[in-house]
Structure 1
Amino acid sequence: MLALNLVFYCCLSQVNNKKSVPLDGMTYSQLMQSASTKLTSHEYASALRDFSQAFKQHDSIGKYDYANAMVAAYKLDSIQLALNWFSKGVELGLGLSNGEYEYFNNASDFPGLKDQHQYQASLVQISEKLNNQKSDKALKDKQWFQMIERNGENVKHNNGSLSVGFSLYWNDSGTFKVPYLVYLPKKSINIKNLKTIVFLHGGVVSTPEFSYQESAISSEPIFKVADSLGFIVIYPFGKKSYGWVNQKEAFYQILDIVEEIKGKYPLVDQEIYLGGMSNGGTATFWFASQSKTPFKSFFTFSGNCELKVDTIDWKKIDASRSLYSVNAIDDNVFPKDNIQRYYSEKSVIAQGWHLEMVESGGHGFIYDPTALNLFLIPFFKRFLNIK
């Protein structure tokens, strides 16, 4: 398969929900799937026919559809058609995601296009968009940091009323001064029955620095769930050199953060929970197997069942402090067979451990746009016993 297909294959058919009109018995989606199969098999002429037919019957073509069609056209020396499809893809945002600009700028899979004026003009267009993205991101990140820092300094909770939004705090009980967020949801909260989620993020092993200055953090699904159900989120930050993967001290510092925040917010001791995603989900097994923690129960999304810093004491995960794990069947980071094998072996000992498998979504299934309403909100309603 061409390198282009390796980059874009998962998003080959980026279309909306509009129904397409069948042509020769095949819908747009069917034609695109057929074209993809033929492109992979180097049947370029047949793939090009499928792409061309599909584009004639549909008015909402995805950028990666154009990218793959460009390859078929180029392989058949239809240079102008390849250039036109590349230009249309660029207009839709092709080239702006991870590594795409470098790929197209290198053009090793289609050297005959690189010297074309139209191709170079499209590269310039991508470059300008990327620069604008960087400028916009820098401004948003600056405004974000100013806001969370200001909120952390000015947090107030008088007469049972708490300030809504994100606040930044620092804990210096360990080797590193660790930043963490506290999020108060938009939905009004019940002070007397206040529920708190400590959420450990994923990607720790690939994060060089604490990412608290990234405004994109605000779009994490856990905060959207909090808005819907009305609970507080404590969101510590980890990084490769100090996080909940290889450094046990970072695990203990999470416990210190919880105690610290109790002095700032009226947390209810019996309603504090912990869980996380990927590396954060894996780390949750450590907390769930400790003799004493402040957490009522635990959850993991796309977590593994092996710790690097310690062994899991499975017998301590009992019915009094349940652990609910959710993994995707098509997760290629922590394969389902491994997870299910562990569950089969250990759930007899860890009688508080419950495993659920979702059909699709891969390792990052919680980030699927449909996951919020179809899975996350119903899951946390059950987990937190919210009616």
Structure 2
Amino acid sequence: MSDKLEKILTAARDHAHEVVGPNVDTWNADKAWPRSASDKAGAAGLTGLYAPEEWGGQGLSLSEGIQVYEQLGLGDGAYAFALSMHNICTFAGCGYGTDAFKAQWARDLTSGRKLANFALTEPQSGSDPMKMYTRATINADRTWTISGAKAWVSLATEADIYFTVVKTSDTPGHKDMAMIAIPANAPGVSFGPLYDTPSYNFLPMSEMYLDKVVVGEDNIILPIGQGLQGSLMAIDIARVSVASGCCGLMQAALDTALSYSKNRKMFGGKNLDLDGIQWMLGEVATDLEASKLLYRKAAAALGTPEGPLMAAHAKRFVPDAAVKATNTCTQVLGGMGLLQPYGLDRLSRLAQMLRIVDGTTEISRVVIGRALQRRAAALPDLPVPKGYGETEKRDATLAAE
């Protein structure tokens, strides 16, 4: 591990323990994004993880930077998720944006002074980005006029700019898709009512409406024809980032259960001395170690032909393991696990949320299943054992007679 990465991971862990964990319940009660907290994250170098140093970023590789969310997940998985999406947009803007865009936005994004988020999903399409109705018309002066709606937009009303995927024609398919950065204060941008999300009310989510929004060509992040491909890459990064955050969440749940059971007296001893408790928490510990190995391997594969499949494996396995872990740890505390001060109810809800965002675990199973079909097609057929199928042939002959 490089000195830079170790320093960043330490900063993220300190941020989780000192800023996020102690305050997340208050944030949820206030139902407001903690801008002062994300400002501190920016000051700690956590908002420009993959961006080049020349633009104020940390210059980390994806496989390095994604480990940060494991540390942030110790404080709160939804907070880690929000910063992961900001970092993906910052990565895209600094890596693929025009020179004019970078001059205007890059340093504000890497520093966290301004926040960014990603807008792909639409109200009627869910996990199917091919069913996209948001349209961009290219004008004579090369500006773009955009109309449509996006759903499940994180940091809605809070982010300063939204990296939005659009279609530029009514032709079916993805060859006309592009990604353009739309400032939140552009005329015609508005938001619907915030979604009611009890366990992460501090993270504003809602639909975003675009009514003849005009944006200059300097804000094109991915040109026509590259929008879907770039979005799928962003989703792969997001899926591995979610898995990373889930590991921090699992560790937080396990530590809560250990701290409680080591002192809880029952049946003449302490809970943690009981075989049943040890087995339950031991299974959580094993799943946690497996999850860490899997998401880190997936992070290392990003950008390679194996990247999408490994991201699907991580997104399929780790959030499921987190749901199981939080339920197990709640069970270890018994009735006390239902009380808010212990935080396990919040962690359970967060784990379920992380199973869904950036592609449900069922979508990951589809990706994995299709990869298995391709592998099966390349394998030789197995020989049929002698005599196998003779009964079926006889029955078919009799039926024909």
TM-score by length of 1: 0.21
TM-score by length of 2: 0.20
Relative CO higher for 1 or 2, CA cutoff 8 Å, sep ≥ 6? 2
Higher relative helix content = 2
